[in-house]
Structure formats: structure tokens, C-alpha cells
Chain A
Amino acid sequence: MIIGIKDGMKLVGISIMACCAVFVCTLFMNYNMDLVSIEEQMTSPQMMIMYDALVSMGKVVSGVSGGCLLITSGIMLVFYIKNYIDTHKKELGILKALGYSNFKIAKNFWVFAISVLIGTGLGFGGAWLIMSKFYEEQNADKMLPEFEAAFHLELVIGLMLIPTIAFGVLAILYACVQLKQPTIDLLKEKRQYGKSRIKGNGKKSQRTKRAVGADREEKDVPFLKEMQKATIRSRKSLLFFVVFGAFCFSSMMQMSAGMNEIASEMMAMMIFIIGAVLACVTLVLAVTTVVKGNTKSVSMMRVFGYTFEDCKKAVLDGYRPWAYLGFVIGSGYQYGLIKMVVEIVFKDIENVPDYEFDVQIFMIVLIVFVILYEAMMFWYSNRMKKISVKEVMME
């Protein structure tokens, strides 16, 4: 079979995403479960307020970060499967032509869930490595009774086994849907890039004046702009990853720098690392796929006399506004989230300052993001320079 265990292990993006999600969820959920088991030891109203705040905080953090990362991992899995099918159309077409059913081929896609198992396993293990330190930090003021971390099997099942099985099933079902295309299309490696606007066998449809006007305007749009738009349209999932990468960077960096009054240094560091890793993984995944997917187009543009700068503009520059949009959304999100945590979770706790948007931190994170993003684009544009026109022509 063409899909092997190794293919399943190559999905580093999913593994990292799953690792981050399970790492955070394991810490907070394990802590919450242990904390709930000693509820009867909360003897004073102050202890009860602290107890409620920590339980609520655990629920919010696990729910928001775990849920957000779970959805993103799912989208990433779907993206990987579609990408795998797109790049192995011929082999899959041959299998179908030989008589393999869609399900028989699709069921081999379960191996993609291995990446989830690896990621969740690492996340779970990583969380346990710092579990005792985390428990100490959560109760640094000694307002609650001391308690040890206990192992909860239900967390292994809920955070490792169930996601792995769910992702395996999702992989099989999605592959089944994707393989429904005609065998001949797979063999000819046909890819649906878009459909023409005039339907029928060359017959002109009734077109409004507005449509004709739009056509005329479109005619005046330079080719490089058209190419930019088409590159983005052809793989919308990558747009999501670019926005998400910038969102993660913006929200988590600002969060880690701005929440020092309401959270421990350890938590701020955790958020910082997770934010940086998630942003890098998603951005690298997206941009690598964009560059690889446009190798032939870049070669042809070079043959015709377009410069490298033109090729970069056409292929990469269209994502820039979206990346900055992701950054702005991330800034708003982190402000809203911390404001909500302060106003709801810590409402009864004394000496918790009112949370305000920190313009200085925003500006610093923005400058760092601009430098990193532009450096990444510069590196990828240099990679595009290495695309050999001749190699593409010889295929």
C-alpha cells in the first residue's frame, strides 16, 4: 500500500499542535481534578474564593486553548490528507483502476492518526515532567492546603486515546470523500482549480451590464495582482493557517507579556513558548506549501522574463495583509480573554488590578512580528530563486 506508517509520522504540524493542546489541558485538568477532590478542606471564605477562581481558570484555559488547538489540528489533518491525495493522485488512481474500493484505500489513512498519538503522548509526558512545579506555582501564596498530583487514567483516555481514534476515523472518512472523484481524473492528475463563469458548450449566457463592467475592470488588473488573488483562492486552507499563525503569535506573546500581575512567571513562559511554536509551525507549513505548489508557475514566469521580485509578489505577497489581519484579531482576542478572566474568574479576589490594553507591549510584539514575518518571506523568496527552470521542464 502506498500509505505507510512513515507517512503518518511525517505530520509534524499536527504532532506539535496536539502536543501543545494536551500539555496545557493535562496540567490544568489534572490540577482541577485534584483540587476538586479536596474541596471539603476549604474551611474559610478566602480559601473558597481562591478555590473557585482556580477551578474556573482551569476550565477556561483548558476549554479555550484545548478547544482552539483541537479545531486547528482537525483542519490541519484535513489539509494534510487533501494535500497527500493531490500529490499522489496517479498512485491512488492506479489502485482504483485495479479495482480497490474507495473505502479499502481510505482505511489506510488511519496511519495519519499516529501523528496525533505521538503529539498527545509528548504533551501528556511533558506536562507530567513539570506537574509538581506547576502545582507549587498555582499555590505559591499558600492560600490552599498542600496536595500532591495524582494520576488520572481518564485523562489518558480523554486526551490521548479518544483524540487519536477520533482523528483516525476523521482521516478515513475525509479520505473516502476525497477519493470519490473519477478514476480517470486521478490518473490524469486533474486538479479542480476553479470553474469558468460561462456555463454550457461555449454558449453565451445572459450577462448583466454589471457583470460586463466587472469583466472590464478585471481586464485592467495587472497580471501579478491576478496571480496573487489566484494563489490565495486556490488553497484557502493555507490562508487560514497564515491568519492563525499570526493570531497565535500576537495573542500569546502579548498575553505572556501582559498577564504578569494575574499569573505566575511559569505560566507566562508556557504561553510564550506555545505561542512561538504554534506561530512558526503554522506559518512554515503554509508558506512551504505555497512555494512548493507554485514551483511550475514560478518557473514559467521566469522563462517569460518575470524577475524574482515579481515571482515573490505574485506568490507570497498576497498573504501579507491576511497575516497582519491575524495579528490584529489576536490582539483583540487576548485583550478580551484576559479582561474576561479578570472580571469573571478573579472578581471576588482582592488586589487583582483592572486589566487595560497595553499599547507598549502591542507595539513591541508588532515590531518583532514584522521582523520575523518579513525575514521568513525573504528566506522563502531566496528558496524560490533556487527553483531550476530546466528541472521543471524536464518533468
Chain B
Amino acid sequence: MIQVKDITKSFGSKENSFQVLKGISLDIKDNDYIVLLGASGSGKSTLLNIISGLEKADSGSIMYDGTDIDKLSETELTKFRKDNVGFIFQQYYLLPNLDVEKNVKMGADLAGNKNYCEMIKAVGLGEKLHKYPHELSGGEQQRVSVARALAKKPKILFLDEPTGALDEATGRQVLDYISKLQEQYHFAVVMVTHNNNIAEMAKTVIKMNSGKIVETYTNEAPKTAYEIGW
């Protein structure tokens, strides 16, 4: 599905340049569940932004079904994100002046999905269709962002520390919804986290440190959100 080859990325001016990614290569297959694991500053979020087409790499290629997305124009990248990608962020980023239903409709309309209310029900918010984000708890807001991302029927879902702002019980609940929905809809998952326990849910774990992949391993029997430690 996605082949990432020799990605490098630096920030700052030429004199004060800091290399965040130092030649990253990895493969993402259909229906994969990958966790990018690493401490703060390891480059995992930058890698996620580059693979998802939010940011350009300095060198290397990101081949998506034969197309190098790093070479796409802004308009082509927009279409790529529209057709293929879903996002979930630590800070939810719900549209504050729209209620739950309309926030999810934002994702659904891009895929012409008329049954998006099913997705809201699937994350347990069927009773809160007309609540506004400020009327919801953090966990509920994150579940709305899960429904919003999946309502656009993405082929690959990118998650950047999705439980970073949640307590243990709510975090487990959100991860459980994501796993169950992945089994149902068969999209690939690429999740960034610094939590070693969450990595136990993934099929493939890619450990990063100082802009490099230091270890890649496969979990033969991934755990559920309620089996992992926290």
C-alpha cells in the first residue's frame, strides 16, 4: 500500500539546521496496524505528517499505490488526502461551532457517505447527535473525531497520540472503538504514541529514536485495549 524510502527531514535555517528524520524506510500494507513508538523528539510525529501528505520530506519517496505523494502538487495532495486518509489528533480539533452530527458530516460528505450517523452510533454517541463540542467530555470529543475520520471511509487512518489527553478508562475505550472499527471496515492504522503499553495492540511496532528506526518487531498476538497495561 505505502512504501516509504530513505526519508530525511530537517528544520531550521542552513546554519542552525536540525535533522529530525535520518533516512527512514518502512512499508505499510492494507489492513495493517502499525505503531510508531518513541520518546518526545524522536521524529515520529514528523514522520506521520510526511507519510500522510501534510508535510514534504527533504529527500526520499513515499509511494502510495505506485504514486510518489511527495512529488504531488498541493491540489493533488488535497485530493489524495480526500480519497485515502483519515486523521485523529491528540487535541481532537473538532469544529467548535458545529454539533456532533455536523462535525461527522464534515468527513462523511467527502466520501458521499449518507449513513454517517451509523458511525456516530458505533462510537456510542447516538444520543448526543446535537451536542456541541464544549458540551462533551474529552473522551466523547475524541470519539467524535474517530467517527469523523472514519465517516470518510479512509483506506488508512493516521493517529497522533490519540489518547494523550485522556484518562486511562477513556483512553482504553477510544482505542477499543478504533480496533473494533478497523476489524469491521478493514482500513490500515498508523498510530504515533510514546506509550509502550499501547504498542502491544499493534501488529507491527516501529521504535524510533533521534530520527532513526531503531527496532521493528511484530506482535504475534496483539492485545485488546482492555488487556494492555497503562
Q: Chain A, 49-66, contact with B by CB distance < 8 Å: what is the 0/1 string?
A: 000000000000000000
Please tell me which one of the listed residues A194, A219, A224, A300 contacts residue B132 in the complex, with CB atoms under 8 A apart.
A194
With A190-B134, A193-B132 as given contacts, are A304 and B107 in contact (CB-CB < 8 Å)? yes
Contacts of B75 in A (CB 8 A): 307
Smallest CB–CB gap between A203 and chain B, Å? 9
Contacts of A196 in B (CB 8 A): 99, 128, 130-132, 135
Residue B63 is within 8 A (CB to CB) of chain A in the complex: no
Restricting to B128-147, which residues have a CB under 8 Å from any CB of A?
128, 130-135
Q: How far is the CA of A190 from the CA of B134 in the complex (A)?
A: 7
Q: Chain B, 117-129, contact with A by CB distance < 8 Å: what is the 0/1 string?
A: 1000000000110
Q: Which of A150-158, A230-238, A254-262, A334-342 contacts B (4 or more CB under 8 A)?
A: A230-238
Q: Are B85 and A305 in contact (CB under 8 A)?
A: yes
Restricting to B71-127, which residues have a CB under 8 Å from any CB of A?
75, 78-83, 85, 87, 89, 91, 93, 95-99, 101-102, 105-110, 117, 127
Interface residue count on the B side (C-beta < 8 Å): 38
Smallest CB–CB gap between A312 and chain B, Å? 14
Q: Are B106 and A307 in contact (CB under 8 A)?
A: no
Q: Are B130 and A197 in contact (CB under 8 A)?
A: yes
Q: Are A303 and B87 in contact (CB under 8 A)?
A: yes
Q: Are A195 and B132 in contact (CB under 8 A)?
A: yes
Smallest CB–CB gap between B194 and chain A, Å? 17
Contacts of A304 in B (CB 8 A): 81-82, 87, 106-107, 110, 152
With A193-B134, A226-B102, A390-B54 as given contacts, are A202 and B127 in contact (CB-CB < 8 Å)? yes
Residue B49 is within 8 A (CB to CB) of chain A in the complex: yes
Main secondary structure, interface of A, reads helix
Residue A173 is within 8 A (CB to CB) of chain B in the complex: no
Q: Chain A, 211-248, contact with B by CB distance < 8 Å: what is the 0/1 string?
A: 00000000100111011001101100000000000000
Residue B58 is within 8 A (CB to CB) of chain A in the complex: no
Residue A12 is within 8 A (CB to CB) of chain B in the complex: no
Q: Are B135 and A234 in contact (CB under 8 A)?
A: no
Q: How far is the CA of A263 from the CA of B54 in the complex (A)?
A: 60
Q: How far is the CA of A197 from the CA of B100 in the complex (A)?
A: 12
Q: How far is the CA of A299 from the CA of B98 in the complex (A)?
A: 15
Contacts of A1 in B (CB 8 A): none
Q: Chain B, 59-77, contact with A by CB distance < 8 Å: what is the 0/1 string?
A: 0000000000000000100
Contacts of B83 in A (CB 8 A): 305
Contacts of A197 in B (CB 8 A): 130
Q: How far is the CA of A191 from the CA of B97 in the complex (A)?
A: 9
Smallest CB–CB gap between B139 and chain A, Å? 15
Contacts of B87 in A (CB 8 A): 303-304
Q: Are A226 and B98 in contact (CB under 8 A)?
A: yes
Contacts of B127 in A (CB 8 A): 202, 204
Q: How far is the CA of A202 from the CA of B99 in the complex (A)?
A: 15
With A198-B130, A306-B78, A307-B75 as given contacts, are A301 and B106 in contact (CB-CB < 8 Å)? yes
Residue A389 is within 8 A (CB to CB) of chain B in the complex: yes
Residue B55 is within 8 A (CB to CB) of chain A in the complex: yes
Q: How far is the CA of A226 from the CA of B93 in the complex (A)?
A: 17
Q: Are A233 and B130 in contact (CB under 8 A)?
A: no
Q: Are B102 and A230 in contact (CB under 8 A)?
A: yes
Restricting to A309-360, which residues have a CB under 8 Å from any CB of B?
none
Q: Which of A222, A297, A301, A390 lies at the interface centre, i.e. has the most chain B CB atoms within 10 A of its CB?
A: A297
Q: Are A390 and B55 in contact (CB under 8 A)?
A: yes
Please tell me which one of the listed residues B78, B89, B96 contacts residue A302 in the complex, with CB atoms under 8 A apart.
B78
Contacts of B131 in A (CB 8 A): 196, 198
With A202-B128, A223-B105 as given contacts, are A303 and B54 in contact (CB-CB < 8 Å)? yes
Smallest CB–CB gap between B224 and chain A, Å? 27
Q: A226-B105, A296-B93, A306-B78 are in contact. List 14 more A-B contacts (CB 8 A).
A: A191-B96, A193-B97, A193-B133, A198-B131, A219-B117, A223-B109, A299-B93, A302-B78, A303-B54, A304-B82, A304-B106, A304-B107, A305-B81, A306-B82
Question: Can you give 27 A-B contacts (C-beta < 8 A)?
Answer: A191-B96, A193-B132, A194-B99, A196-B128, A196-B130, A196-B135, A198-B130, A223-B105, A223-B108, A223-B109, A226-B105, A227-B95, A230-B95, A230-B98, A231-B97, A299-B93, A300-B95, A303-B87, A304-B87, A304-B152, A305-B80, A305-B82, A305-B83, A305-B152, A306-B78, A307-B78, A393-B54
